[in-house]
Structure 1
Amino acid sequence: MKKIILVCMMMSAGVNTMAQQVKNIPLWPGNAPGETVKAPMKTSPDNKGNVLRIAEVTDPFISVYPAPAGSTQDAAVIVCPGGGYNILALDLEGTEIAKWFNSLGYTAFVLHYRVPQKQAGALQDIQRAIRLVRSKAADYHINPEKVGVLGFSAGGSLSARASTLYDEQQYTPVDAADQQSAKPAFALLIYPAYLDKGPDRKLTPELKVTAATPPMFLFATADDPYGNSALVMAGALRDAKVPVELHFYNKGGHGYGLRKGNPAAEAWPALAQAWLKQFDKR
C-alpha cells in the first residue's frame, strides 16, 4: 500500500510541475487597441465534442509552453485556435497542440486572441504576439528568426493574414518589442477557412501573396466545407514561387485537431513534423 501511495504522489508532483511551467503573458501593457476594459476571458457553456470553448476575450495574452529541458530545437510556434472568429476552441486547437509541440522539443505559445467577431483586433493581437515572442527569444532559448505560426480554421485564416500582411502596421507601437518584425518565419495552416472569399471562390483579396511570403504547410480534406481555402492558397503561393507543401486528403471533415479516431487528425501531425525539420537547429 505504501508503494502505491508513493507512486501516486510522484505522479501528482509531476503534473503540478508541468502545470507550473505554463506561463501567461499579456500582449498589451494597457488596454488592447480599441478596447475599453480588461476583463477575464469568458468560457462558453457549450462543451459539445468535449471541447473547451472561450466565448469572449478582451484582454488577449499568450500562454507559454517551454520546450523540455535539454531540447536542441531553437524554432518556436505560435498556435492560433479556430472557432469562426466567434470563439476559441482552446484545448482542441490550442493547448493540446502546444503539448504536442513540446513532445517534439519545440517551445509553443497559445494565442488567446480577441473574440467574438473582432477580426481587426485578432490581426493586431497576432502581430503583437510575434513581436513580443521575438523580444523574449533569449528567455526561452529560441532563435528570433525562427518564430512561426500555426492555425486551425479561423486560426488558419489569422495565420494566413499574419503571413501576408506583416508589413502593414495594424496598431500604434506601445513599447520596444514593437521594433521587432511581425513577419512569421513559416506558417502551418491546418484545415484553414475564409481564404477563398475572392470572386469565383478565388483567394481572399485581403491576402497579399508575394515572393516574400513565408513558406507554408497546408493540410485539408475534400469533404471539408472550407477545403477550397487550402487549394487557393497553395495555388497563390505556387504562382509567387513561395515554398509550399499541400496535403489534401479525401476524408476528415473539419475541426478535428489531432485527436484520435479521425484519419486526417492522425495523418497531418507526422507530415507537419517532417516539414518542420527544415527549421531544425543547424
Structure 2
Amino acid sequence: METLYLWTNQVPNEINEKQYAVKTPDTSNNIVRLTDVTNPILEVFRPDAAKNNGASVIICPGGGYKILAIDLEGYEIAKWLNTLGFTAFVLQYRVPENHLGALNDVQRAIKIVRSKSKGYNVKSYKIGVLGFSAGGSLSARASTNFNKSTYKKLDEIDKVSCRPDFAVLIYPAYLNKGKNNTITPELTVTEQTPPMFIFATADDAYSNKGSLVLSKALIDFKIPIELHILDSGGHGYGLRKGNIAAETWPVLAEKWLKNIIK
C-alpha cells in the first residue's frame, strides 16, 4: 500500500512530536481504532486499471474526533470505492480533539491529491470527500471552508485549490451546533459549495437533525443535494452486513456518484 505524508516538516497547529498512530485496546464490534495521530497520512487504494473511472475520493473515518474507525469507515470503504472505479485515499487526520488540525489535514490532503492527479490517472480531475460521523463533519467543513486559509502556505502544493468537487456524508455528526439546533456556524454554505449526498436514519440522534439542517441550507443556495433518511439503522454501521442502513446507502450512493462524475 502506498502512503503519502501530508506534512514534510513541521505539522501546523501540532505541539506533539511526529509518531505512528496508536491502535487503542478497544476492538469492540470488530473495529480497529486509531488515536494519537500527529503525523497525518493518506493511504492509497487503486482500482483495477480496466475499471478506473478517472475520479478519486478522500475518505474521512469517524470516531468523534477522538479516534479513527480506520477499517470500518476507512479501508473497507476504500475497497468498495475501488470496485466502482474510484482511486481512494484513506485519511488519517489528527485525533484526539484537534479540530483545527483535522481541518488543516483534509485541506492539505485535497491539495496533494489534486496536485498529483495526473499520476493517479484522474482524467476528470474530480476529487470528492466521503466521511462518516465526525468524518462527515470534517467533510462538510472541507466543503464549506475551502476559501479560508487555516494554515500558513508551505510550498507549491498549497497554491492548489482545496475545494472538493463533491461530498458524501454518511451519518454525519455535529452539523447542528448552532443556537436551537441551527446549522453549525462554521459551515458557511455559499453558491460555490459542492454538491452533496447525505444519508442518515431517523433513530440516529447524532445525525438526523443535522442532516436536515445542512440540507435546507444547501437547498436555499440551490446546491445539488440528495438526502436520504431511513427510519432505522442507528449509527456507526459502515458497510457491514446485517444492518438495513448499511445495505441501503451504498446502492443509493453508487448511483449518485456515477452521475456526479459524468
Q: TM-score, normalised by structure 2?
A: 0.97
Does the 8 Å contact 1:214/1:242 carry over to 2? yes
Match of 2:2 in 1: 23
Alpha-carbon deviations, 1:86-142, whole Å to 9, x = none? 000000000000000001111000000000000000000000000000011011101
> Gaps spanning 5+ residues in structure 2: where?
none
Q: Which residue of 2 aligns with 1:155?
A: 135
CA shift for structure 1 position 149: 0.2
User: Which residue in 2 is equivalent to 1:186?
Assistant: 166
After superposition, give the CA deviation of every residue in 1:47-94 in whole Å (9 maximum; x if it has no partner): 110000002100000000012122240111000000000000000000
Tell me, in whole angstroms, the C-alpha distance in 1 between the residues paired with 2:149 and 2:122: 25
Measured in 2, the distance between the counterparts of 1:47 and 1:60 equals 22
Mapped contact 2:126–2:261 kept (Cα < 8 A): no
Q: For 1:64, what is the secondary structure of its paired residue?
A: strand
Cα contact 2:108–2:162 (8 A) shared by 1: yes
Of 13, 16, 19, the residue aligned with 1:34 is 13
Alpha-carbon shift at residue 144 of structure 1 (Å): 6.4
SS in 2 for 1:129: helix
1:149 alignment partner, SS class: strand
Is the helix fraction higher in 1 or 2?
Answer: 1
> Which AA in structure 2 matches 1:248?
I
Corresponding residue for 2:243? 262
Superposed CA offset, 1:200-231 (max 9, x none): 10100111001110000000000001111111
Q: CA deviation at 1:34?
A: 2.5
Q: Does 1:246 align with 2:227?
A: yes
Mapping for residues 76-225 of structure 1, pairs under 5 Å:
76-143=56-123, 145-225=125-205
2:226 match: secondary structure: strand
Instruction: Detail structure 1 runs of 4+ shifted over 4 Å in the superposition.
Output: none
Deviation at 1:199, TM superposition (A): 1.1
Larger Rg: 1
Distance 1:149 1:59 in 2: 20
Name whichever of 61-70 and 183-192 sits farther off. Answer: 61-70
Structure-2 separation of matches of 1:108 and 1:256: 20
Secondary structure at 1:57 match in 2: coil
Please give the alpha-carbon distance, in whole angstroms, between the structure 1 residues aligned to 2:49 and 2:256.
Answer: 23
Query: Closer, same or farther in 2 for the Cα pair 1:72/1:25, shift >3 Å?
Result: closer
- Classify the secondary structure of the residue corresponding to 1:49: helix
Whether the 8 Å CA contact 1:137–1:144 is kept in 2: the answer is: no
Matches within 5 A, 1:227-238: 227-238=208-219
CA distance in 1, matches of 2:125, 2:144: 17
TM, length-normalised to structure 1: 0.90
Q: Which amino acid aligns with 2:77?
A: I
Task: Say whether the 8 Å CA contact 1:75–1:107 is kept in structure 2.
Answer: yes
Counterpart-to-counterpart distance in 2, 1:151 and 1:145: 20
Q: How far 1:27 sits from its partner (Å)?
A: 0.3
**1:279 shift after superposition:** 3.3
Ranges in structure 1 where 5+ consecutive residues have no aligned partner:
1-21
Q: 1:143 to 1:208 in 2, by over 3 A?
A: farther
User: 1:178 & 1:269 partners in 2: Cα distance?
Assistant: 33
Q: Equivalent residue for 1:8?
A: none
Percent of matched pairs sharing the same residue: 55
